[in-house]
Every structure is written in C-alpha cells, then in structure tokens.
C-alpha cells in the first residue's frame, strides 16, 4: 500500500512512526511547504519523494493520502484527494463548518473512495477496552466527565513549536469528545449546550469553553476545555457507568480508585495513531467502510455546528 503523508509537523511524524510498524505500508512521498524541513524529515524516515504541493504529489501512483495539515485546509484537501482517485484519511477535525463537512460526504458518495477521519479516541486501547465491555452488555455509561486542558495562549503545536494557523477548542478539541460520547453511549446526541469565555484579542478565539451533552438513551456528558490551563496538560476521560468507573488518559486506563488496568492485549499495539492507520489501510485492502469513516462521524459535526450557532447567538 503506497501512502503519501501531507504535513511533516507533530502529527505527521506521529503517523510516520505508526506506519513504519505496519507490514505492507510504504510511505512513498512527504508533502510540506518548507522544502528543507520536509526533506530532513523524509531523510529520517527513508521517504523517497518530497513535494511542496499536494497537486504534484497526487500525480504519483500512491494509493492513499494521510492529511496532517491545518484545520482550515482539511475539507478542501480531502475532496481534492478523492477527486484525484486517492483514498484519504484526514486528521481531526474533518472541517470547521457544517457546509464543508457536507461537501466532503457528498464527494465520498460520488467517488466511492474511502474517506476516514482521525477520531483517534475510537482506537486508543483505553477507550476500546470500555467499548468492548459496552458492546458485550457488561456496562452502560451514565455520565462522561471530560477535561481537555492545554496552555496555548500563542499559536504552538503539540511539540511546542510555532505554527501559522489558529487551533480551535470547539471544532478540533471538542470533536474528540462529542464523537466519542455518541460512539460509547451507542445513542445519538439529542441535547447540546455550550458557553465560552472571553475572546482572545490576538488569536480571535475563546480560550475557555464548557459543553453539556445528552444522548437519546439518557446518558450525559460534561466537557470542560481550556487553552489557559498551566498543567497538567492533555485530555482526561472519566466514565461513570452502572457497573464501574474508568479513567482514560490517552492509551492508558485506570479504575475509579486509580488502579491500573492492563489494556496491552486489547489490540496489536498500544499506539492509538498506529491503530488508526492500521484500520485505514485494512479498510482499503478489504474494500470496506472503516471505523471513523466520514459517514460514521458526521453526526459529530452537526452537533458542533449547532453549538457554534448557540455561541454566536
């Protein structure tokens, strides 16, 4: 399977690290705006071709593209890849508007190409462990309590390096939890409310936000997000269930009393990004719809759109 990765930044590198562990995956091209930086990363991973434009890369014989680019480019680039005959995995979020989200769905339907969105929480072994118990009928979610906390009063990426675009608490970071809550509850979201703090004078976004969700089956979710939090950083999920409490921190899981739970046997890897990439390539090979396909996550973006309307009002 020949793959092109677009974006040599923090998440592009996470995908490159995952892909190198997957038999049959061959990264044949790396795309980046800065030729020197992109070439340096390509050299580190033995990637034969470097491009400074997606257009040029799409002329190659690659089977698939993984987009790790700024949020504002996700929808248009996903559409561009599918129209060029490539399967595409786009990092979360799919888009930053409902209109663009719908456009990607329409293109997927027209082209028949696989379009998968990087909703990594579906693949982290910690969340898979809880999901497996839910699907086995061993427990049901009563409430999810989620904290998404970073310290980003300037435009920096996951490696702490400057970047040229502004991240967003709603369309990016809330997307993880909105989708995961519906996925784990096994029930559509029927109520959603949001409030936000002051708009930052330079970034033009709120740095603090609070979201409430309710699923049709009665389960609720409370999500607190901040770019003002000076540690600890990351996203922490508390599952309060009818049969136990679990706390997930990325790929790790503990119970409500902080006793570690072994999730090393849940899947073939403890790396959520690698598992995400494995699902993408397996779906292409097997000609099936992947977990976190654009169709399976689209409800998340309708909820985000509705929340944005509330906040703007």
Distance of CA 257 to the CA centre of its chain: 28
Contact 146, 50 (CB under 8 A): no
- Predicted confidence (pLDDT) per residue in 60-69, tens digit: 999 999 999 9
Q: Which fold, 2-120+273-289? A: Rossmann fold (3.40.50)
Residue 154 is predicted with a pLDDT of: 81
Residue 28 is predicted with a pLDDT of: 98
CATH dotted code for 121-269+299-312: 3.30.360.10
Specify the pTM: 0.95
Q: Give the largest CA-CA distance in the chain.
A: 54
Helices (H), 71-162: 74-83, 98-111, 125-135
Q: Within the chain, which residues score under 50 in pLDDT?
A: none
Domain ranges in the chain? 2-120+273-289, 121-269+299-312
Residue 115 is predicted with a pLDDT of: 98
Query: Would you call 70 helix, strand, or coil by DSSP?
Result: coil
Residues β-bridged to residue 254: 247, 260
């Amino acid at each position: 399977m020949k793959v092109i990765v677009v974006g040599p930044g923090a998440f592009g590198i996470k995908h490159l690290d995952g892909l190198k562990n997957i038999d049959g995956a061959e990264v044949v091209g790396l795309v980046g705006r800065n030729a020197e930086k992109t070439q340096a990363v390509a050299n580190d991973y033995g990637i034969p071709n470097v491009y400074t434009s997606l257009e040029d890369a799409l002329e190659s014989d690659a089977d698939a593209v993984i987009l790790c680019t700024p949020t504002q480019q996700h929808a248009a680039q996903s559409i561009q890849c599918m129209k060029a005959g490539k399967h595409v995995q786009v990092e979360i979020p799919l888009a930053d508007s409902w209109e663009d989200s719908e456009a990607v769905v329409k293109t997927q339907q027209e082209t028949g190409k696989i379009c998968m969105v990087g909703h990594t929480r579906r693949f982290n072994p910690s969340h898979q462990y809880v999901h497996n118990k839910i699907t086995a009928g061993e427990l049901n979610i009563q409430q999810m309590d989620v904290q998404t906390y970073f310290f980003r009063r300037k435009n920096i990426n996951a490696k702490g390096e400057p970047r040229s675009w502004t991240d967003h608490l709603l369309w990016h970071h809330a997307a993880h939890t909105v989708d995961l809550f519906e996925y784990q509850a096994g029930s559509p979201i029927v109520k959603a409310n949001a409030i936000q703090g002051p708009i930052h004078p330079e970034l033009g976004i709120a740095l603090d936000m609070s979201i409430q969700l309710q699923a049709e089956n009665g389960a609720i979710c409370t999500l607190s997000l901040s770019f003002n939090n000076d540690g600890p950083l990351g996203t922490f999920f508390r599952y309060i269930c009818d049969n136990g409490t679990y706390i997930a921190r990325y790929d790790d899981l503990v119970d409500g009393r902080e006793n570690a739970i072994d999730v090393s046997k849940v899947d073939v890897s403890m790396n959520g990004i690698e598992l995400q990439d494995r699902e993408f390539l397996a779906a292409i090979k097997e000609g099936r719809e992947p977990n976190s396909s654009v169709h399976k996550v689209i409800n998340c973006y309708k909820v985000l759109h509705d929340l944005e309307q509330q906040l703007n009002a």
